[in-house]
Amino acid sequence: MSTATSVQIAESRVDARFAELKAQGRAGLVTFITAGDPDAETTYQILRALPEAGADLIEIGMPFSDPMADGPAIQASSQRALKNGISLAKTLEIVHRFRAEDSTTPVILMGYYNPIYHMGVEKFLRLARDAGVDGLIIVDLPPEEDRELCLPAIDAGLHWIRLATPTTDDKRLPKVLENTSGFLYYVSILGITGTRAAAAEEVGAAIERIKRHSDLPVAVGFGIRTPEHAAAIGKVADAAVVGSAIVERIAEALDENGKAGTGLVDSVTELIRDLRTGLDR
Phi, psi of 186, deg, nearest 5: -95, 115
pLDDT 10s per residue in the chain (281 long)? Answer: 445 556 778 779 999 999 999 999 999 999 999 999 999 999 999 999 999 999 999 999 999 988 777 788 899 999 999 999 999 999 999 999 999 999 999 999 999 999 999 999 999 999 999 999 999 999 999 999 999 999 999 999 999 999 999 999 999 999 999 999 999 999 987 554 444 455 778 889 999 999 999 999 999 998 899 999 999 999 999 999 999 999 999 999 999 999 998 999 999 999 999 999 999 98
Angle of helix 264-279 versus helix 244-252 axis, rounded to 10? 150
pLDDT in the model for residue 195: 45
| Residue 133 to residues 91, 119, 139, Cα–Cα distance (Å) | 11, 16, 17
CA gap 238, 58 in Å, rounded:
15
Convert the pLDDT of each residue in 120-174 to its tens digit.
999 999 999 999 999 999 999 999 999 999 999 999 999 999 999 999 999 999 9
Phi, psi of 42, deg, nearest 5: -65, -40
> In CATH, what is the architecture of 14-279?
Alpha-Beta Barrel (3.20)
Mean pLDDT over all residues of the chain? 92
Contacts of 266 (CB under 8 A, 6+ apart): none
Burial class (CB in 10 A: 0-12, 13-18, 19+), 1: exposed
Q: Which helix (H) or strand (E) holds 185?
A: strand 184-187
Helical residues (DSSP H) of the chain, grouped into ranges: 13-24, 40-53, 72-83, 88-101, 113-119, 121-131, 150-155, 173-177, 200-211, 227-234, 244-252, 264-279
CA gap 191, 177 in Å, rounded:
21
CA gap 35, 80 in Å, rounded:
10
Convert the pLDDT of each residue in 228-254 to its tens digit.
999 999 999 999 999 999 999 999 999
Confidence (pTM): 0.93
* Residues assigned a catalytic role: 59, 70
CA gap 203, 241 in Å, rounded:
13
